[in-house]
Structure 1
Amino acid sequence: MLRFVLIALSMLALSACASLERLAIPDNSLTRPDVRGSGTVARLDHRVWDSFLQDHTRKDPAGVVRVGYAKVSDSDHAELKQYLRMLIAVDVAMLTKEAQLAYWVNLYNALTVDVILDHYPVASIRNIKGKGFDLGPWEDKRLLVNGVETSLHDIEHGIIRPLWPDMPEIHYVLNCAAVGCPNLGQRAYTAKNITDALGVAARSYVNDPRGIRVSESGQITASKIYSWYLDDFGGSEVAVLDHIRGYAAPELRAKLAGKTRIQRYEYDWALNGF
């Protein structure tokens, strides 16, 4: 009897933690700062970020893309900061929609790496906190975009999610420096490659145990991303599983046939470094 009570308490604790994390996600009903517009410029220079990714990332045997934070030189870090300054000087409204999406995803990912480098060594991005009940550095206003102080949360929840509300695949290209997150892309995104990259990243994560796995007894464990952003993936576990089946390889799709519930959500917050 005691064993069942302990299991129940453990499940409640996990549920409470997941609920707290979900509550920490800001409302995405407002776009801030105002960057709306649909221009005609498709090309933007992301060569610095592209070179950084090629030089400082590698995929481990488990398929996790890791960043060699410890080996990034001061000059490489300074160049990354200069790239960020270049990005925020761009009039994003002049870009095409594809170029805009590539811009914001690159900005988010590069800024996340910059945050880690500013605080390295650190075991998890969640250890980088301001004050109060911060769960991490996502609310820190680190950039001035269109004259508005802007945070990682502002980029993701105030800009990307509102401007691309019917594209849950964006969650597969945004990286929060955690092992449990979808992989950091090893090349910079551009207007030309971002659409294909979304599908590639979705298939990669869905078919990785970090995204979803099915036990021999048929129990489903999924990434907390599908819990945190339930509404983005259709608003229910049935919709989430339908989405996942759309990207699942045949073996995984067969295991998910007829499934309508997810029994457990997990996420590994360990730093994606090497």
Structure 2
Amino acid sequence: MKKYTLILAVFFMAFSVNGQDLDAFFNKADAFLKANVSNGLVAYKKIHDNPEALYNLLNLAEGIAVDKTDAKNYQAFWINAYNLSVIKGIIENYPTNSPLANAGFFDKVKHNIGGKNITLNDIEHKLLRAQFNDARFHFVLVCGAIGCPPLISEAYLPSTLNKLMDTQTKKALNGDFLMVNIKKKRVEVSQIMEWYKEDFTMNGTTEIDFINKYRTEKIPANFKIKYFEYNWQLNKQ
């Protein structure tokens, strides 16, 4: 009996410590983003000149483990981890004009996060998209370019996750993520919707169905879809 009691005590102690680390990560990420992001643009030079806060934050994230069954904590953790790792990748190659100017930025360079040694693509495609059928990820994972939806100046928290994902999706689809041409009965949208078409057409819906779910001024179902070229220039202040 004493043996099992000890095992349980160790388990709950580890759970408590990990929970404290996760809360600390969210708090520090929130403070970091508030200090370095404005109107969707990132102060890369400022961070490059004084990177300690970012490195300390990502060092904390190395030992945090969140199970995917704890969906809100898991998604919030990995969304923040992705966005912060993008910033880290940029400042390690600073000055640079685009994330694509750095070989393997998304698919080769590894990041030590959550007990894993993974790429940015691993976070996006394996840990998030493959686990949850939610196209809103494309509006909160920010790749360091102007063509991405804007990075917000706060951390995604489990308590605000769903609201912020909705807000960012609505901002994009009611903003410059798409352009409507009434005369030509056409809507031009970001290439994100071409690259990940399967995410926007799940369960038999169309891309326009998805857009209209979040858009104030609805687009007629018979409008054609065209994709405009992605802007890979750095989202810098």
Could you say what the CA RMSD is over the residues aligned between the two structures, in angstroms?
2.4
Quote the residue 1:109 is aligned against: 83
Partner of 2:44: 69
One-letter identity of the residue aligned with 1:192: S
Residue of structure 2 equivalent to 1:97: 71
| Whole-Å separation in 1 of the counterparts to 2:81 and 2:206 | 30
Please name the residue that 1:190 is paired with.
157
* Preserved contact between residue 73 and residue 157 of structure 2 (Cα < 8 Å): yes
AA at the equivalent of 1:226:
M
Equivalent residue for 1:50?
30
Partner residue, 1:259: 222
Residue 164 to residue 213, structure 1, CA distance change in 2 (3 Å)? same
- The question of 1:164 aligning with 2:132 is answered yes
Aligned to 1:212: 178
> Residues 36-92 of structure 1, C-alpha deviation per residue, up to 9 Å, x if partnerless?
xxx995962222221221111111xxxxx11111222543x1221121121120121
Structure 1, unaligned runs of 5 or more: 1-38, 60-64, 131-136
Instruction: Tell me, in whole angstroms, the C-alpha distance in 2 between the residues paired with 1:168 and 1:190.
Output: 18
Gap change, CA 1:103 and 1:155, over 3 Å in 2: same
Q: Percent identity?
A: 25
**Alpha-carbon shift at residue 163 of structure 1 (Å):** 1.3
Cα drift, residue 94 of structure 1: 8.3
Secondary structure at the aligned position of 1:149 is classed as: strand
Pairing of 1:1-274 with structure 2 (within 5 A): 44-45=23-24, 46-59=26-39, 65-72=40-47, 74-75=49-50, 77-93=51-67, 96-130=70-104, 137-145=105-113, 148-165=116-133, 167-209=134-176, 211-217=177-183, 218-234=185-201, 239-250=206-217, 253=218, 256-274=219-237
| Contact residue 90 and residue 96 of structure 2 kept, 8 A | yes
Distance of 2:45 and 2:132 partners within structure 1: 35
Counterpart residue identity of residue 49, structure 1: A
For the 8 Å contact 1:140–1:151, the answer to whether it is kept is yes
Given that residues 238 and 260 in structure 1 are in contact (C-alpha distance below 8 angstroms), is that contact kept between their aligned partners in structure 2? no
Q: Is the CA contact (8 Å cut-off) linking 2:48 and 2:94 kept in structure 1?
A: no
Per-residue deviation, 1:140: 2.6
Q: Residues 208 and 236 from structure 1, CA distance in 2 versus in 1: closer, same or farther, beyond 3 angstroms?
A: farther
Q: How many residues align?
A: 218
Q: Deviations 1:71-118 (Å, cap 9, x if unpaired)?
A: 22543x122112112112012128721011000000000000111111
Change (3 A) 1:262 1:94: closer
The 3-state SS of whatever aligns with 1:163 is coil
1:230 and 1:236 in contact (8 A); partners too:
no
How far is 1:216 from its partner?
A: 4.5
User: Structure 1 pair 249/146, CA: closer, same or farther in 2 (3 Å)?
Assistant: closer
User: What's the TM-score once normalised by structure 1's chain length?
Assistant: 0.73
Q: CA deviation at 1:261?
A: 2.2
Q: TM-score, normalised by structure 2?
A: 0.84
1:268 deviates by 1.1
Q: Do the aligned partners of residues 121 and 141 (structure 1) sit closer, same or farther apart at CA in structure 2, a change above 3 Å counting?
A: closer
Q: Secondary structure in 2 aligned to 1:157?
A: helix
The offset of 1:147, in angstroms, is 5.6
CA–CA distance in structure 2, aligned partners of residues 148 and 103 of structure 1: 13
Runs of 4+ in 1 over 6 A off after TM superposition: none
Partners of 2:190 and 2:149 lie apart in 1 by: 10
- Deviation string, structure 1 residues 160-211 (Cα, Å, up to 9, x no partner): 111112x1111111000111111112100111010111100100000112x1
The amino acid of 2:80's aligned partner reads N
Q: SS in structure 2 opposite 1:119?
A: coil
CA distance in 1, matches of 2:27, 2:114: 23
